[in-house]
Each structure stands twice: as structure tokens, then as C-alpha cells.
Structure 1
Amino acid sequence: MSLVEGQRFHFSPSCPTLRSGEPRSPHRVTPQFCPGSRDPPRNSKRRPEQEENYDRRTSQRRMGQERGRNRGIGRGRFPASFFANHLPLERGPGGAVMRLLASAGLGEVLLLLLGSLLAHIHCEEVFGILGENYTFPVKINKSLVEIIWKKNKDKVAEWDEQSQAVYFTSLKNRGSLNNETGSLTIFNLEENDTATYVLEYLPFDENSVSLTFILTVLDPPSEPTISCNVSDDNLVLMCAADFKRPLTYSWDFGRITDYKQQQNVVFLKKNVDVSEKVTCLIEVSQTAKSSEFSLAECFPDLKS
């Protein structure tokens, strides 16, 4: 095999090479590169434009490697496992996702910044009953110097350590701000109190913090109703009320002692004294309602 001047070559294991200790033959060439390369080897001659492109690519590659070493990213001082185990949201709701992304090696620096931001984000959905007083579930165990409450981005209450609390718009004469815990109470809830509320507070010698609450004002639950079904040897009583959130149920059985209760369902023996009455009580927030039921309603034939 002979070399042709100007032909392009690339290194290949298939090219013949001189074995160690093998005598050189005048009829055998030991090529250092083979046809088909994109760039000739470094010790070969290049045209001026090739030399310029090669120098530019080499310089850019070295600059990128140097920036990576300075930042400690990738294959340097901080492997992906470091970020997977040291994110600020280790125990927060988004911690598992953040660690999963970090273990995949995706944007470690951005993940750290995002994790630090999410660690200070709080958003909670809450509800109140129309006509009731509602206090947002806030208890800050820090010394505060400033408190601001906003409703749909409009300021509704404000306090700082140099003055008393001030209330605006819809909370005038209907709001109460606790400057020790940061909580806000709305008296006599109205339908238009449904909104997104943001608490911004400034602890002493710290950065400000924001808490977001999405408040929904609901109609009070309906009066409970009790239905009865006769099944084998049991009477099955069920208490129900119309409400969009879970209710707490309790019962009053009078002189009846043999019963089994499962929240809003009660099992009584069929031979119970039908002259007895039971009462179902429902509770939610500050609202409580009850209904009474006569066991004789389970046996309409007896009434006639």
C-alpha cells in the first residue's frame, strides 16, 4: 500500500501496523492514518483555513472544560449523586421529584436554585361556612416586624411594629389581625370572601416569607335526614346531609345500649323497642345540626 499526496485519512485498527520486533520490509508501508478521515493527524500538513478551524475548535473545547472545572459541575468535584442527596427539599412534597431529576444529572445548578425557591412556597386550600367567623391557620413562632395580608393581590390588612393594624376595602370592620401569630380572622363570612389570600410577613433579622391560602366560602350543611332499612335481624339507620366537605357524625340512642356505629351508619337489633327514638348530630367547623328519628318509622305496617 502506498500513500497518495493530498489524500484524507483516519486512524483505524484495520490498517496494517508494524509488529514489535518485526523487521521492516522495503515492500511494506506502516501507515499512520487511513482514507476517510475528517481531519488529518496533527503531524500532517494542513491548509491555512484548516489550521485556523482546528485552532478555533481546540480553543473553544478547552474553554468549555475550564468553565466546567471552575463551577465544579459534571465530572469534577460534584457528581450527580451529591445534588440528589443534598437538595433543600429533601423532606418536602417535591423532594422526591427533585432528587430524581438530580440523579439523572439534569441541570444541577438550576435544580439547587429551584429547590431553594420551592422550599419557601406554601399554598393551602381552606374553606369556611357562610355567616361564620374564619381564622386562617397561621401560627408563626418568630418575632415579627411587619405583616401584610392581600386578597387577590389587593391589600386588605397591614401591621408593622411602629403602628397598629390597618384594614382596607371589604375587611373594614370585619377583620382582626393577630400581630403575634400573623393570623387573620374574617367575621361573618360572605360569598365574596371567596378568594386567594397571601400573607407576607417579615421576621426580625430575616428575609420576608409568603404564605398562600385559597379560601372557599360554602353554604351551611342541610338538616340531616335519617333513613331505615330492615335487613335480616338488624335495623340499619343511615344519617345524611347535603354538604361538599366531610362531616363529623355522632348519635344519641337514648336508652338503647345494643348497637354498632360506623360514622353515619348504625346497626340495631330488629327486636329493639320501636317506641325508642334516636338522634343524629352533624358538625363541621362552627356549625352543628341534628335530627330525631322514631324507630317506629322502620315498621310502617305497625303504625297502621
Structure 2
Amino acid sequence: MAAGSGAGRAPGVLGVVCLLLRFGFISCGSQQVYGIVHEKVTFNIASNVPLKEILWKKQKDKVVEWENSELRAFSPFVNRIDLDPVSGDLTIFNLTSSDEGKYEMESPNITGTKTFSLYVLEHLPSPGITCALTNGSIEVICQLSEHYNKHPELTEYSWDCPMEQCKHDSTEIYFELEDDLLQTIQCTASNPLANKTSSIVLETCVPNSGHSRNRYILIAAVLGVIITVTCIMLYMCGILKCDRKTDRNNSS
């Protein structure tokens, strides 16, 4: 009987927990929030009950408090925050890397705390694409600049091209010389807030082959100019010789 009654009570307890989670009275874990340096970010509370008092903290330090209809911000957030006393939402402006961390909101009207983990990212640059001919294969590498080192674990790479190799999400892929070297290969670097794309044509990766077409055209153009200039000079010399012979005949 004891085991049976315990099993019967379990669904009831789980049901209560689910209701508390649904209406925001219990906070389990931190919500991940992402912002960009020099821009703004908002922690959304969207409370369903009127809030008489609000206290936001970063770790153990106070960020802002609202009490008796008075708002007080604390350093280093003075003149950089906006608090909605109705919803409890907090907005931080002009983000810096030092703003990263765990934020908590407390209110006597809400059981437990609302917690957020803030990640501050740099503006995402376009990825660099390099390639080389290695052991008879074309290696194409896509990566961000080494100066972009903020949260590399949040950066993902993807490729776009008609070939099978581009279905693999990695920083490097390989092609064969028999593949279509005229194809344009695109690489996209992305994080939770942005994505940037760069591209490269495969034939530019093959020495003495990738640029051969352009080289032949350039050589042909140079030869054409040389031949044209030579012909003009020969023609002009012929005219001068003829004029000299005519002058001699006339003088005789």
C-alpha cells in the first residue's frame, strides 16, 4: 500500500511543478542571451503579475532596483540601463565584454528568481578562405581572423556548392583536380546573432593551371601589341625610305 500510495502521489507533485514552471514561479537553469559589443540587449521577464519591487543583480552585485516608484542604478550600469517596472524587463545599452555574466531578477511578487547568462560577442567579420594544392588534392580552408577570438565555441561553419564535399560542416574540405574547377565555393561563418559569407573559385587554387586561361589571354594581347607596333614602325620606315628616294630623283 505504501508503495502504491507513493506512486500515486508522484504525478500530483509533477503536475504542481509543471504548473509552477508554466506560470513562471520557478526558474530552472539560466536562459542564454546574446548581445554584441556597443549595442544593446534585453532580458525579458514578461511577468503575469504586477511587480511592486524589483531587484536585478549581476552575480552578487546590484545592477538596478525599483522600490516605492523610485529607480536606482548602480555602477557600472548608471546611464546604461532601462528597467520596465511593469514587466520587469531589463535593457542594457552600449555593451562591453565586462558585462558578460549571470544576471538575476528578484521580486517579492515572484517565487524564486529569473536568471540569464549573457554572452557578449564582437561584430562578426567575413571569414577568410585559403586554398592550396596538397598531395594532388585541393585543400580549401575557411576560418575567421585570429583576432576574432571571442567565444570561438559559438562559431559554426558551413559550405555551399553543387558538389558533395560542401555538405560537410567543417573548417576545411578537399577537392580533386578532376572536379569542376570553375565552380565557386562559398563558406559561411555564423554565430547566434549573425552570419557572414566569403567565396573562392577553385581554379585559382591550382598553380600554373588556375590562371592559365588568363595568362594565355594576357600573352596573346601583349604579342598583338608588339606585332602591331612593329608593323607600324616598319610601315613608317618604308614611307621615309620612299620619300628619300623621291627626293634624290627630283634633285637629279
* TM-score interval, smaller chain: 0.5 to 0.7
Q: Is the 8 A contact 1:132 1:286 kept in 2?
A: no
**Could you tell me which residue of structure 1 aligns to residue 6 of structure 2?**
80
Distance 1:291 1:197, change over 3 A: same
Q: Is the 8 A contact 1:122 1:210 kept in 2?
A: no
Letter in structure 1 aligned against 2:13: L
Aligned length: 195
Q: Is the 8 A contact 2:51 2:86 kept in 1?
A: no
**Could you tell me which residue of structure 2 aligns to residue 226 of structure 1?**
129
Instruction: Calculate the TM-score normalised by the size of structure 2.
Output: 0.56
- Mapped pair 1:173 → 2:79: yes
Q: Is the 8 A contact 2:45 2:87 kept in 1?
A: yes
Answer with 1 or 2: which has the greater Rg: 1
Please report how far the alpha carbon of residue 210 of structure 1 lies from its aligned counterpart in structure 2 after TM superposition.
1.0
Distance 1:272 1:167, change over 3 A: same
**Could you tell me which residue of structure 2 aligns to residue 247 of structure 1?**
155
**Could you tell me which residue of structure 2 aligns to residue 6 of structure 1?**
none
Q: Is the 8 A contact 2:140 2:173 kept in 1?
A: yes
- Mapped pair 1:195 → 2:113: no
SS in 1 for 2:91: strand
**Could you tell me which residue of structure 2 aligns to residue 7 of structure 1?**
none
**Could you tell me which residue of structure 1 aligns to residue 207 of structure 2?**
300
Instruction: Calculate the TM-score normalised by the size of structure 1.
Output: 0.48
CA RMSD of aligned residues (A): 4.2
**Could you tell me which residue of structure 2 aligns to residue 182 of structure 1?**
88
Give the fraction of aligned pairs with identical amino acids, expressed as a percent: 26
Q: Is the 8 A contact 1:133 1:187 kept in 2?
A: yes
Please report how far the alpha carbon of residue 229 of structure 1 lies from its aligned counterpart in structure 2 after TM superposition.
7.2
**Could you tell me which residue of structure 1 aligns to residue 48 of structure 2?**
142
Task: Provide the rounded CA distance (Å) in 2 between the counterparts of 1:301 and 1:180.
Answer: 69
1:151 to 51, 54, 58: 58
**Could you tell me which residue of structure 2 aligns to residue 214 of structure 1?**
117
In structure 1, the gaps of 5 or more residues are 1-73, 93-118
Q: Is the 8 A contact 1:150 1:157 kept in 2?
A: yes
* Cα displacement string for residues 65-111 of structure 1 (whole angstroms, at most 9, x for unaligned residues): xxxxxxxxx95x9843244443247877xxxxxxxxxxxxxxxxxxx
Q: Is the 8 A contact 1:129 1:285 kept in 2?
A: no
Task: Provide the rounded CA distance (Å) in 1 between the counterparts of 2:203 and 2:157.
Answer: 22
Distance 1:213 1:258, change over 3 A: closer
Distance 1:229 1:141, change over 3 A: farther
Task: Provide the rounded CA distance (Å) in 2 between the counterparts of 1:191 and 1:258.
Answer: 40
Please report how far the alpha carbon of residue 280 of structure 1 lies from its aligned counterpart in structure 2 after TM superposition.
2.6
Give matches, 1:266-277, under 5 Å. Answer: 270-274=178-182, 277=184
Q: Is the 8 A contact 1:248 1:282 kept in 2?
A: yes
**Could you tell me which residue of structure 1 aligns to residue 249 of structure 2?**
none
Please report how far the alpha carbon of residue 198 of structure 1 lies from its aligned counterpart in structure 2 after TM superposition.
0.8
Q: Give the number of the structure with larger relative contact order, counting CA–CA contacts within 8 Å between residues 6 or more apart.
A: 2
